[in-house]
């Protein structure tokens, strides 16, 4: 029987938590899936661990190329009509796939759905802040400040992946933010108000801890969207407002750190986007659909 869902699980030197993620897939109530684990050049005991999971198909990459390359490689190998992602430091609740697949069956026009989350930081459950609130439908405006969709929570139809294209492998971080913007300016995305994944944070190898000034990568994603997407006037305004805010923050941060070259670069970008925003006529942002 052909799988209905292809699960893409990229990992790099995370044998310490990978077993938890793998077991959460094995415990799914929905059974018609294939699991593609992309070992992104691990040098720890990951290969030995994976040999204990014969149902997982492992793609072993010779060198570490980053999470975007690993996810893209996994999707190229996928056989199913629906795609799910699972980060190796996260875990799914047993009903995760069954709830989402039932939703897509009942809503054939929906291209993707995502779920609520449980957050664990250093072994303690924490509550998300107000800025992390989830929304349903035309959620593009809500995705501009920060990424509200966790890769581990989404289930999407293969057709929308083929429409939008792969993760941007030039971004060392915020590649998910970039992809969700490319998705949500085109399509509504449905939120299922059930906590069906567990996100574990606070460990040293998180990308958010590795890079200072994550907004640098969000600015690159927004600039690309402004260049390449057929945004409506309201969507353009939302992007420009976000660029003004993020370049201002980056200017201030680099200024405080004494990095004059980067401070001047973001100061110039701040002025440029502020001027572009002034030239753009007033237009509603929330709920506005893309230009046909």
Alpha-carbon span 39 to 62, nearest angstrom: 9
Inside any domain, residue 284:
no
Extract the tokens encoding 166. 């792969």
Alpha-carbon span 209 to 171, nearest angstrom: 16
Q: Is the pLDDT of residue 283 over 60?
A: no
Inside any domain, residue 86:
yes
Q: pTM for this one?
A: 0.92
186 lies in the same domain as 240 = no
Residue 180 CA, chain-centre distance (Å), reads 6
Inside any domain, residue 289:
no
Pairing of strands 112-121, 190-201: parallel
Domain boundary among 193, 210, 227: 210
3-state helix, strand and coil shares in percent for the chain, rounded to the nearest 5: 45, 20, 35
pLDDT tier, 213 (very low <50, low <70, confident <90, very high otherwise):
confident
87 lies in the same domain as 38 = yes
pLDDT tens per residue, range 75-85? 999 999 999 99
Q: What angle do CA 155, 172, 22 make, to 5 degrees?
A: 40
163 lies in the same domain as 77 = yes
pLDDT of residue 280: 87
* Phi-psi sector, 227: left (phi>0), alpha (psi -120 to 50), beta: alpha
**What is the mean pLDDT of the segment spanning 198-213?**
71
**What is the mean pLDDT of the segment spanning 214-222?**
96
- Residue 132 Cα distances to 119, 157, 211, angstroms: 12, 25, 20
**What is the mean pLDDT of the segment spanning 194-207?**
81
Half-sphere exposure of 1 (CA within 13 A, CB side): 7
244 lies in the same domain as 184 = no
**What is the mean pLDDT of the segment spanning 244-265?**
96
Domain boundary among 210, 226, 257: 210
**What is the mean pLDDT of the segment spanning 202-206?**
64
Domain that holds residue 257: 215-279
- Percent of the chain, pLDDT > 90? 87
63 lies in the same domain as 158 = yes
DSSP state of 151: G
More confident residue, 292 or 109: 109
Inside any domain, residue 288:
no
127 lies in the same domain as 262 = no
pLDDT of residue 25: 98
As a whole number, the mean pLDDT across the chain is 93
| Sheet strands (E) in the chain | 5-11, 33-40, 56-61, 82-85, 90-92, 112-121, 124-126, 155-157, 190-201
Q: Find the CATH number of the domain harbouring 50.
A: 3.90.550.10
Inside any domain, residue 138:
yes
| Sheet strands (E) in 122-168 | 124-126, 155-157
Q: Is the pLDDT of residue 289 over 80?
A: no
Inside any domain, residue 290:
no
Residue 244 CA, chain-centre distance (Å), reads 23
**What is the mean pLDDT of the segment spanning 114-130?**
92
243 lies in the same domain as 111 = no
pLDDT of residue 292: 45
Q: Is the pLDDT of residue 199 over 90?
A: yes
219 lies in the same domain as 109 = no
Q: Is the pLDDT of residue 215 over 90?
A: yes
**b/e map of 34-48 (b: 16 or more CB within 10 Å)?**
bbbbbbbbbeeebee
144 lies in the same domain as 229 = no
265 lies in the same domain as 194 = no
What is the tally of structural domains in the chain? 2
More confident residue, 139 or 127: 139
Q: Is the pLDDT of residue 128 over 90?
A: no
Alpha-carbon span 147 to 149, nearest angstrom: 6
Residues 198 and 93: beta-carbon distance below 8 Å = yes
pLDDT tens per residue, range 39-96? 999 999 999 999 999 999 999 999 999 999 999 999 999 999 999 999 999 999 999 9
pLDDT tens per residue, range 163-187? 999 999 999 999 999 999 999 999 9
Choice among 78-87, 102-111, 199-208, 219-228 with the minimum mean pLDDT: 199-208
Extract the tokens encoding 260. 């004059």
Domain boundary among 183, 210, 237: 210
DSSP state of 288: P
197 lies in the same domain as 270 = no
- Residue 122 Cα distances to 130, 148, 213, angstroms: 21, 21, 23
152 lies in the same domain as 255 = no
């Amino acid at each position: 029987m052909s799988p209905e869902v292809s699960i893409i699980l990229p990992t790099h030197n995370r044998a310490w938590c990978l077993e938890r993620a793998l077991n959460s897939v094995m415990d799914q109530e929905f059974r018609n899936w294939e699991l593609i684990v992309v070992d992104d050049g691990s040098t720890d005991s990951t290969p030995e661990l994976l040999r204990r999971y014969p149902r997982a198909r492992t793609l072993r990459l010779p060198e570490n190329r980053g999470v975007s390359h690993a996810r893209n490689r996994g999707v190229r190998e996928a056989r199913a009509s629906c795609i799910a992602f699972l980060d190796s430091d996260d875990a799914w609740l047993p009903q995760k796939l069954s709830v989402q697949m039932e939703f897509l069956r009942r809503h054939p026009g929906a291209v993707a759905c995502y779920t609520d989350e449980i957050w664990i930081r250093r072994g303690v459950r924490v509550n998300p802040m107000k800025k992390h609130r989830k929304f349903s439908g035309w959620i593009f405006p809500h995705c501009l400040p920060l990424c509200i969709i966790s890769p581990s929570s989404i289930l999407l139809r293969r057709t929308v992946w083929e429409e939008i294209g792969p993760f941007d492998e030039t971004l060392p971080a915020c590649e998910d933010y970039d992809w969700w913007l490319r998705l949500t300016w085109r399509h509504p995305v449905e939120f299922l108000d059930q906590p069906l994944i567990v996100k574990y944070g606070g460990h040293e190898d998180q990308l958010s801890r590795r890079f200072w000034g994550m907004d640098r990568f969000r600015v690159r994603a927004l600039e690309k969207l402004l260049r390449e997407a057929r945004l409506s006037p309201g969507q353009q305004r939302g992007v420009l407002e976000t660029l003004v805010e993020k370049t201002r923050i980056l200017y201030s941060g680099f200024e405080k750190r004494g990095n004059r070259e980067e401070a001047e670069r973001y100061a110039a970008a701040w002025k440029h986007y502020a001027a572009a925003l002034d030239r753009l006529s007033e237009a509603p942002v929330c709920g506005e659909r893309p230009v046909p």
